[in-house]
Amino acid sequence: MRPLFHPAIEDVRPEAILHALADPSRAAIFATIMRAGCVEACSALAAVGDRVIPKSSLSNHFKVLREAGLIRSERHGVELRNASRWAEVEARFPGLLPGIINAYASDAGACPRDAERAAAR
């Protein structure tokens, strides 16, 4: 099995982050991981709103998030555990992630500060 690619924080590029979070499904997946801290299984995030993401698309979403430097995935048996790299990315690009996540939250009618509160935990 191939090792998973995780860029060093110095190699994370803002354009990769913007590309990864431009897709509403990926932004929702990232926000869920960020709020949870660590998600045990990728399949736990297959439902976004009232839509179910096919397994092949879900795998690609995780790959894009991982290669953009937004999440870290670790293999545990047949499952992947995904954790947010929010603190690392926020230290490198202050304000970028809260701005993006809060914009999605505002569009969805959620409280704009929810992302910042969740990240502070």
Q: Are 89 and 96 in contact (CB under 8 A)?
A: yes
What's the pLDDT at 111? Answer: 46
Is residue 6 one of the residues assigned to a domain? Answer: no
Is residue 1 one of the residues assigned to a domain? Answer: no
Return the closest-CA partner of residue 39 out of 52, 22, 58.
Answer: 58
What is the domain range of residue 22? 11-115
Is residue 77 one of the residues assigned to a domain? Answer: yes
Is residue 120 one of the residues assigned to a domain? Answer: no
Number of structural domains, the chain? 1
We report the CATH number of the domain holding residue 60 as: 1.10.10.10
Is residue 2 one of the residues assigned to a domain? Answer: no
Is residue 57 one of the residues assigned to a domain? Answer: yes
pLDDT tens-digit profile, the chain (121 residues) = 678 889 999 999 999 999 999 998 899 889 888 887 766 566 666 666 667 788 878 889 999 999 999 999 888 777 788 899 999 999 999 999 999 988 888 876 654 444 445 555 5
Is residue 45 one of the residues assigned to a domain? Answer: yes
Rounded CA separation 28/47 (Å): 10
Q: Report the predicted TM-score, pTM, of the whole model to 2 decimal places.
A: 0.79
Is residue 121 one of the residues assigned to a domain? Answer: no
Residue found under tokens 């992947």:
80
